[in-house]
Structure 1
Amino acid sequence: MTPAARVQTAIELLDGIIRSAEGLGAPADRIVADWFKANRFAGSKDRRAIRELVFGAIRACGPVPASGRAAMLRLAEAEPALALAPLFDGSIYGPAPIAEGERPAAGGVAPGWLEERLAASDMAEAEAEALLGRAPLDIRVNALKADRATLILPEAGEPLPSAQGLRLPTGTAVEQWAEYRDGLVEIQDAGSQLVCEALAARAGEVVVDLCAGAGGKTLALAAAMGNRGTLIAADTDRGRLSRLAPRADRAGALVSDVVLLDPGKEEAALAQLAGKADAVLIDAPCSGTGTWRRNPEARWRLRDAELARLVALQARLLRIGAALVRPGGRLAYVTCSLLDEEGAGQFDAFLAEHADWAALPVDIAAGRPRGAGRRLTPLHDRMDGFFVALARKA
């Protein structure tokens, strides 16, 4: 493909992504992957270049652009070193020339209403702009099978603030390593590792991962417990939860029980655990503002009404998780959001409504205080954005 043809292809893919974001259809990754599958003539270099153009344009636009062409013009303006403007040359398979007065899409960090919410949470200017950078590649050495200090890997990594974390060069093919296939390492962002460490799960405890998803944090908890104790993973998403078993097998992690929850009926499914858990981790569903570097299109898909629904769900999950904890036990609340209404504000409201709970210090080697917890940000901590808070039941 010619460079101009790559640009035109990216424009057409962006048109589809914009329509999908407005109608909440397929995500950008799937749209791009489906195009590659249907157009085998595009070689590996073409695919790489097209993908870079598509996601570069998404990052360059704040609000949802009017068209893929406007988005690409915004990328051309924001990244002049890419020399994209001359490729609008009207050549065969290339984009039409830029018309006089034709304007690019608007820049910024997010749609206006969402930028206002971020600013109200002290996520503005450089802090907000860092949300659209490129995410690093982090791994966690699985302490059930190896140790960071002695494990020799095909690629040397930079030690992270987490106990077993390493940062590798972007693009490192970790999943092709024997060490990955044998469960010695897991791909996991440093922030995700640290919020697991905040719970300080110990051998012999009864620990519940209430929103386990595909089990990344469950595996970290199993390693922290040394496979000694009772570890329960629960979630409402059957598809994601089904991925935990093969991951646990590879990691040599012992998960005592996996519980598929029926939305709205979680208490009934967890009744036998009421008041018995030493520790509960609530990695609550959220807006994902802290992970925009990995999924920049999420800014375009979030709606005010959906944010309100998530805030209500988080409050409900806190109540459910709290009911599982024994007297003297602890609860960690985590979101990969940087909005206070999902983080510090949410947890402060929980503490205000539950007099039998008291906040505990969050002992992790990163982040800054935020409300009763700590907040990690891409700019300050060079990792995904998280809020994490810890409390003990009287």
Structure 2
Amino acid sequence: MRMGGRLAAAMEVLADIDGRQRPAAEALRDWGAAHRFAGGGDRAAIGNIVYDALRRRRSAAWLFDADSPRALAFGAVLLEWEETADGVNALLSDDRFAPPPLSDDELQAVRQRLAEEMPEDARADCPDWCAPLLKAAFGEDWAAEAAALARRPPLDLRANLLKGGRDAVLADLAATGAQATAIAPHGIRIAPIEGSGRHPNVQTGEAFAEGRFEVQDEGSQIVSELAGVQPGMQVLDYCAGAGGKSLALSAAMRNQGQIFAHDALKPRLAPIVERIKRAGSRNIQVAAGPDDLTPLEGRMDVVLVDAPCTGSGTWRRRPDTKWRLTRQQLDARLAEQAQILDMAAAYVKPGGLLAYVTCSVFQEENDGQAKAFTERNPAFAPEDHAALWKHHFPSHEDRARIGMGVSLSPARTGTDGFYFCALRRT
């Protein structure tokens, strides 16, 4: 397929996403199943246009004064693929599968808009109702921070210390252009893709099969480091999900001590058994049911709560979710987080640590939630997070935002948006 056919396909997928309010991944999968003639490169390029259009929805719509699939797809290519309007039209010529080229009116409108300064609300590429939440989180930097959440993400990996160090994995992945991450001490980064490209499938290689690395965003690695687990500790990963942080904690503990991986939704734990085996983690025990947790009450050195949240910090990876998110969903997550924190606190021993984590950038889910917890539970007090950050990452003192906890963001730390708050049981 040429660019014209790919653009037409992207418009079809975007119309499906909007029409049925469905996840982008599902719409792209179904399109691929119905169009088996499309090769891997075609599907990757179509997916890039779709995801770019969702990341840059407001700015693309501003270019064309329209929010149609056509405007979003053309806007994505103009904003993210470094194409000119005339250049895009040239790519569509003599392609019978292409959509109609940009009209004279559209060309004139785009040229005029590109000569203007983009307004903040368009540059932020977020729903209107989320703008006040981003302003509360980032102040005058809110539009730049939101724009960073609308960029293409890198592919981040974590070298598994139980199977060797980062240098060996970097050597294995040298052909991919992989580099050491800026902050996380065991992280590896493959730069964001450009144009119609796609990230290498690193999970098909020998290094992954042998468990020498895991796919994990640098921000997730950083909050795992901040938990400060040590060999020999007793640790509960209360919302373990697929086990990414459990594996990071296991490596930090050098397989000594014990990690109990729990999740209220048992199906989320399904991938963890195979991951534990591949990583060589011998100190992780799956605690799936409530009865498995009863003996742990008041005994844990660290309880990690990676709480269910809006996922606003992951918008660059899952841009469709920001357009489906509602205030009602945020309120539901806030209630769920408060309940989970109160329940998890029972497992922290005196002097132990409750580590609260979200992949959100909203203050209500972060500092606000941590503050409300300490007001309900006066036996817990926040650690000195400026000192904690300096201890773990002394060369990056100015990168994170420090409040009651630590906030990471694409603009400041180059990571997904994450929040970490260490609450000591006094």
For the criterion TM > 0.5, the same-fold answer is: yes
CA positional deviation for 1:151 = 5.3
Root-mean-square deviation over aligned CA pairs? 2.6
SS at match of 1:138: strand
2:37 aligned with 1:5, yes or no?
Answer: no
CA positional deviation for 1:47 = 1.7
2:352 aligned with 1:329, yes or no?
Answer: yes
CA positional deviation for 1:283 = 0.6
Residue 115 of structure 1 is matched in structure 2 by 131
Number of aligned residue pairs: give it: 385
CA positional deviation for 1:138 = 1.7
Residue 94 of structure 1 is matched in structure 2 by 98
Residue 293 of structure 1 is matched in structure 2 by 316
SS at match of 1:270: helix
Residue 84 of structure 1 is matched in structure 2 by 88
The 3 A distance-change label for structure 1 pair 256 and 166 is closer
Letter in 2 for 1:309: A
Residue 50 of structure 2 is matched in structure 1 by 54
Instruction: Give distance in 2, aligned partners of 1:354 and 1:377.
Output: 29
Letter in 2 for 1:61: R
Letter in 1 for 2:13: L
Residue 352 of structure 1 is matched in structure 2 by 375
Contact 1:212 1:218 in 2 (8 A): yes
Contact 2:52 2:152 in 1 (8 A): no
SS at match of 1:15: helix
CA positional deviation for 1:169 = 4.1
2:190 aligned with 1:158, yes or no?
Answer: no
SS at match of 1:204: coil
2:69 aligned with 1:68, yes or no?
Answer: yes
Q: Tell me the percent identity.
A: 37
CA positional deviation for 1:281 = 0.4
Name which of structure 1's ranges 377-386 and 55-64 shifts more when overlaid on structure 2. 55-64
Q: Deviations over 1:270-306 (max 9, x none)?
A: 3322111111001111111111111111111111100
CA positional deviation for 1:100 = 7.2
Letter in 1 for 2:57: C
SS at match of 2:286: strand
The 3 A distance-change label for structure 1 pair 215 and 256 is closer
The 3 A distance-change label for structure 1 pair 252 and 112 is same
Which structure has greater helix proportion?
A: 2
Contact 2:313 2:360 in 1 (8 A): yes
Structure 1 gap ranges (5+): none
Instruction: Give distance in 1, aligned partners of 2:143 and 2:258.
Output: 45
Instruction: Give distance in 1, aligned partners of 2:331 and 2:301.
Output: 31
SS at match of 2:365: coil
User: Please, what TM-score do these two structures have when normalized by structure 2?
Assistant: 0.83
Name which of structure 1's ranges 343-352 and 299-308 shifts more when overlaid on structure 2. 343-352
2:290 aligned with 1:230, yes or no?
Answer: no
The 3 A distance-change label for structure 1 pair 239 and 249 is same
Name which of structure 1's ranges 38-47 and 156-165 shifts more when overlaid on structure 2. 156-165
Residue 31 of structure 1 is matched in structure 2 by 27
Contact 1:89 1:96 in 2 (8 A): no
Name which of 356, 373, 381 aligns with 2:413: 381
The structure 1 segments of at least 4 consecutive aligned residues displaced by more than 4 Å after TM superposition are 63-66, 85-91, 97-104, 149-152
CA positional deviation for 1:76 = 5.0
CA positional deviation for 1:45 = 2.7
Contact 1:374 1:387 in 2 (8 A): yes
User: Please, what TM-score do these two structures have when normalized by structure 1?
Assistant: 0.89
SS at match of 2:363: coil
Residue 151 of structure 2 is matched in structure 1 by 133
